[in-house]
């Protein structure tokens, strides 16, 4: 199997690390997360991670859980904040991102329950803005995110920050908040909800401000269905209409981990 290669995207002046397959990209993501945990804990006694859901990171969490079982990684000094959650939804609903995180990571590692934070899909409607603001305050009080793990939606969304007509600067400063889901996002969520009618059409999402403020951002994109949007994010215009294109504004701290099928339209 050939090793990874670095591909320079001249349109955005961004380097992308391209792996022969998804498994190699996933392994690299897990290795980098484990390293950032070790370095942050050594430097200041704790690590603060921003985590993602979706199909892409499932195997990353398998890898991290295996490291914990093997004794080479611990979440003892880790605090986590997830990107997003459907709204409204019960945490015990198997389709909630809280359930996903319990299943894939939290129940399998030594992470304290009061340091594994997922936006709460049960807060009263009138309290959503206060809850979202509180979530941002918790992250800020924790010293910000050492790492944000990201996936990319087929419409370019990061978290549930959907394509927007806002100017780039305004979009980049958006806080955590309630959003309506984009038609492409709803279509992709049929995988979890069974039918379009069953998809919960709103969500709470960490804002772009907090994502871009993370000290390291890992963007993991795998599979041929991600090739067009990866190319738009890196070769198309820098615009809130393709939320992931805003990662170019903080390019020096973003690591793009992409498999060959997802990189197919970059060359
Ligand atoms: C989901 C999540 C995002 C995720 C993206 C891609 O709806 N809200 O955080 O990164 O869409 O998901 P997948 O990895 O399943 O393609």
Of 54, 57, 3, nearest in space to 33 by CA: 57
Cα of 57 from ligand 1 centre, angstroms:
9
Answer yes or no: is the C-beta of 160 below 6 A from any ligand 1 atom: yes
Domains of the chain: 22-256 (3.40.50.1360)
Answer yes or no: is the C-beta of 52 below 6 A from any ligand 1 atom: yes
For residue 170, pLDDT over 90 is answered with yes
CA distances from 145 to 20, 22, 83, 167 (A): 29, 25, 11, 25
pLDDT at 2: 66
Do the beta carbons of residue 175 and residue 207 sit within 8 Å?
yes
pLDDT at 1: 58
For residue 213, pLDDT over 70 is answered with yes
- In degrees, rounded to 5, the angle at the alpha carbon of residue 211 between the alpha carbons of residues 205 and 217 is 130
> In terms of C-beta density within 10 A (0-12 exposed, 13-18 middle, 19 or more buried), how is residue 71 classed?
exposed
Mind telling me the catalytic residues?
Answer: 84, 155, 157, 162
Q: Which of 22, 104, 157 most suits a substitution to test ligand 1, by most atoms within 8 Å of the C-beta?
A: 157
> In terms of C-beta density within 10 A (0-12 exposed, 13-18 middle, 19 or more buried), how is residue 245 classed?
buried
d(CA 80, CA 148): 10
* Beta-ladder partners of 15: 8
Its pTM surpasses 0.95:
yes
Answer yes or no: is the C-beta of 136 below 6 A from any ligand 1 atom: no
The model's confidence at residue 169, banded by pLDDT at 50, 70 and 90, is very high
Q: Is residue 62 helix, strand or coil?
A: helix
For residue 71, pLDDT over 80 is answered with yes
Answer yes or no: is the C-beta of 112 below 6 A from any ligand 1 atom: no
Answer yes or no: is the C-beta of 159 below 6 A from any ligand 1 atom: yes
Q: What whole-number percentage of the chain has pLDDT above 70? A: 99
Cα of 157 from ligand 1 centre, angstroms:
8
Give the pLDDT confidence of 21-55 residue by residue, as tens digits: 999 999 999 999 999 999 999 999 999 999 999 99
Peptide bond into 12 cis (omega under 30): no
Backbone angles phi, psi at 49, to 5 degrees: -110, 135
d(CA 225, CA 240): 21
d(CA 195, CA 235): 33
The model's confidence at residue 186, banded by pLDDT at 50, 70 and 90, is very high
d(CA 204, CA 230): 24
Answer yes or no: is the C-beta of 53 below 6 A from any ligand 1 atom: yes
- Which is the closest atom of ligand 1 to the Cα of 191? 15
Mean pLDDT of all residues in 112-124? 98
The average confidence (pLDDT) of the chain is: 98
Do the beta carbons of residue 209 and residue 243 sit within 8 Å?
no
Q: Which of 50, 52, 191 most suits a substitution to test ligand 1, by most atoms within 8 Å of the C-beta?
A: 52
d(CA 111, CA 108): 9
Half-sphere exposure of 15 (CA within 13 A, CB side): 7
The model's confidence at residue 267, banded by pLDDT at 50, 70 and 90, is confident
d(CA 106, CA 218): 20
User: What is the β-pairing status of strands 177-180 and 217-221?
Assistant: unpaired
Backbone angles phi, psi at 261, to 5 degrees: -60, -40
């Amino acid at each position: 199997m050939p090793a990874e290669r670095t591909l320079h995207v001249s349109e955005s002046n961004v380097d992308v690390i391209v792996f022969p397959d998804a498994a190699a990209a996933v392994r690299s993501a897990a290795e980098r997360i484990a390293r950032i945990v070790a370095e942050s804990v050594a430097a200041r006694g704790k690590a603060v991670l921003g985590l993602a859901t979706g199909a892409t990171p499932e195997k990353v969490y398998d890898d991290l859980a295996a490291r914990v079982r093997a004794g080479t990684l611990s979440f003892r000094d880790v605090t986590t904040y997830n990107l997003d959650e459907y709204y409204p939804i019960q945490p015990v609903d198997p389709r909630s991102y809280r359930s996903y995180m319990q299943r894939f990571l939290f129940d399998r590692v030594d992470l304290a329950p009061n340091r594994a934070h997922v936006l709460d899909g049960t807060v009263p409607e009138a309290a959503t803005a206060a809850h979202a603001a509180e979530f941002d305050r918790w992250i800020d009080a924790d010293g910000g995110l050492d790492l944000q793990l990201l996936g990319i939606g087929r419409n370019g969304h990061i978290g549930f920050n959907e394509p927007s007509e806002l100017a780039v600067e305004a979009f980049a400063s958006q806080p955590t908040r309630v959003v309506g889901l984009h038609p492409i996002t709803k279509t992709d969520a049929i995988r979890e909800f069974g039918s379009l009618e069953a998809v919960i059409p709103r969500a709470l999402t960490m804002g772009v401000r907090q994502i871009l403020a993370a000290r390291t951002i890992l963007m993991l994109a795998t599979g041929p269905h991600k090739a067009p949007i990866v190319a738009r994010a890196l070769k198309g215009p820098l615009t809130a209409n393709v939320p992931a294109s805003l990662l170019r504004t903080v390019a020096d701290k973003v690591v793009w981990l992409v498999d060959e099928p997802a990189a197919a339209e970059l060359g």
